[in-house]
Every structure is written in C-alpha cells, then in structure tokens.
Amino acid sequence: MSLAARRRLLDVMDGKTLSPPPVWLMRQAGRYLPEYRATRAEAGSFLDLCYNPALATEVTLQPIRRYGFDAAILFSDILVIPDALSRHVRFEEGHGPRLDPIDVAGIAALDPEGVMAHLAPVLETVARIRSALPPETALLGFCGAPWTVATYMIAGQGTPDQAPARLFAYREPEAFARLLALLADISADYLVAQIDAGADAVQIFDSWAGVLGPEEFSAFAIEPVRRMIASVRARRPQAKIIAFAKGAGLLLKDYRRLTRADVVGLDWTVPLDFARELQEEGAVQGNLDPMRVVAGGQALDEGVDRILEALGSGPLIFNLGHGITPQADPAHVTRLVERVRGGRNA
C-alpha cells in the first residue's frame, strides 16, 4: 500500500492547505449510528467491545462505509490504560465510567509491567483496521492525556469540575507528579505501539484541560503532553500527532509551542479569529459545535460555512469541537460532509 495513496490528511498535518479540507469527526463511530448500536448489543459490555478486535474493527469501519471520512479513528477508550493498571474500570449504564479511586499508596503501587500485554487486543484492532481501510483513508490512533486520565483515576468517576483531582494535586503534589509522569510514559509507549501496528497519526485527548488555571495548565496539561510527544518522536521521528486540550482557550498558543504537536485541536468555544492566529503557526483541527449537528438545517450549514471561510485558506482538518452526541441524526452528518466537500451548493 502506497503511503501517498492516503496522504491527504497527513499533508495537512505537514502544514499544507487543501481545498476542500479533509474531514473526520470525533466519536464518529458511536451511539448515533444504528449499526453501532447493533454491534454494541452483540459485544456485551462496553469494555468487551473495546477489547474485541473483530467487533472494534467493525464499529471503526462503519462511519467510513457510510460517510467516506478522510480518516478513521480507532474505536477504544481513554480508560483502557487505567484498566491495564488494574484499577477495575467498568462502565455503568446511565452513570458512565467507574474506577477504584486511587490514593497515594495506590499510586506508589502502580506497576506498568504487563500493561502492553493487556492492550494487545487493541493493537490487533489497529492492524485489522489498517488492512481493511481504503488506501486513501488515514487511520488515527489515540490515547487520553495524563491529566484527564488522572482525574478519573483519582475521583473514580467523571465529575463536573474535577475538584477531587485538583485537590489531590494541591495536597499531594509529589504523588500527583509521579502519577502524571507514569501515565505520560505508558501513554507514549502505547502511542508508539499503535503507530507500529499501522496508525498513520495519533491524537491525544485532554478533555478536562479547561478546568485548570494557567499555572496548573502548564504543569498538568502542557508538561506531560510535551513529555509524551518527545518520547514518541525520540523513537518514531516521523510520528504525526494531534493534541486536543478542550477548554484551553488562549493557552493554546503556549500549548502548541511547548508540546510541539503537529496539529492543535480546537473546541467550539475558540473564536475563529484566534483560530486563524493559531493556524499561522501550523495546522488546526475543528471546531464545529456538536449541537449544530443535532440541530441540522440552517444552523449546521452556517456553522460549517463560517469555519471554511475563516480557516479554509490555511491548513485545516475539519472536525467538531468535541465528540458527536448520541442525539445527532445520521442524515445531518451526511449533510455536513457534503457541505464541507461541496460548498454551499451541497
């Protein structure tokens, strides 16, 4: 398979401008698709689906078959790493993820031995997806950023403002620093393994970066991701990396410069004039409000057009500002893709 056959998204990651821009959507494989719901019912638990290479490959490919996105993203979850660290991850219907909350002693006892063996089914999924994808479709691997993963490990669940993790970081700074460093190193190993299994590029998700103040953002969001990217590039110098720090706002300039990510993901709250400033320094990805996909119609068209008008003359990967929601109508996603690719006449 020729790398040139699937270079479109990778060209933008190198800083090139393409018209129309490549498009994919975060959570493009998920509950808004009837075919996903059928496969999910077959799998058993959510984690069973993540660790089943045949079924995880199937749900990854479903939106590619339906929409022809320029990239597929591995179907998995950011919490497979704490699961591999024996933190008893489970997903409770109607409540989301639950873990055994970790304390100082638990952090000291964390053992990375065996993590990659635990994640072997996910890496098999990456290889299966790459072999099944059309040559022109890029494959993205991913992981959670250390800060976001740590918030779940400390609280044992998602919380509105991640107060448990923030308090822990203030009260137990040495233990918290050890946790972030361990997660950064394991996550870097995991991304390298995904690249070796066939991923063309990888994305780092820091979904809870927006709750941090400037000093904490530097220590908890920038530094661990910088460490990860440096580790990946030391071993795979040509690695292509997207970093998405949701809610980071004006701190995204430092985030790009210090992490050295190839592409910065933008949530929907980032003003387009500021996004243009970021784009002067390299490719950006985003940033349509997922609610516009739920709304459809004029709201969807106007949102797409504004982004294309503001960012289409520079290196852009069109995406949402966060994951697509279960309420989205699949027909609205078709309209989005056609609008991006065909302009206002779509």
Question: Residue 33 has which token pair?
Answer: 């698709």
| 130: exposed, middle or buried (Cβ count in 10 Å: 0-12, 13-18, 19+) | buried
φ, ψ of residue 52 to 5 degrees: the values are -100, 100
Query: Long-range contacts made by residues 262-270, C-beta under 8 angstroms, separation at least 24?
Result: 262/13, 262/14, 262/201, 263/12, 263/13, 263/317, 265/203, 265/319, 266/321, 267/210, 267/321, 267/322, 268/320, 268/321, 268/322, 269/321, 270/321
Is 40 among the catalytic positions? Answer: yes
- Of the candidates 6, 8, 27, 128, the residue annotated as catalytic is 27
- Of the candidates 7, 31, 98, 257, the residue annotated as catalytic is 31
Is 67 among the catalytic positions? Answer: no
User: What is the C-alpha to C-alpha distance for residues 237 and 240, in angstroms, rounded to an integer?
Assistant: 9
- Of the candidates 6, 8, 32, 40, the residue annotated as catalytic is 40
Q: Output the DSSP codes for 166-215.
A: HHHHHH-HHHHHHHHHHHHHHHHHHHHHHHHHT-SEEEEEETTGGG--HH
Please name which of 1, 24, 2, 26 lies closest in space to residue 12, comparing C-alpha atoms. 24
Which amino acid does the sequence have at 202?
V
- Of the candidates 36, 152, 190, 255, the residue annotated as catalytic is 152
Is 152 among the catalytic positions? Answer: yes
Is 65 among the catalytic positions? Answer: no
Q: How far is CA 19 from the centre of its chain?
A: 24
CA angle 39, 41, 45 (to 5 degrees): 105
- Of the candidates 70, 77, 83, 262, the residue annotated as catalytic is 77
φ, ψ of residue 81 to 5 degrees: the values are -70, -50
Is 36 among the catalytic positions? Answer: no
User: What is the C-alpha to C-alpha distance for residues 289 and 246, in angstroms, rounded to an integer?
Assistant: 12
Active site residues: 27, 31, 40, 77, 152
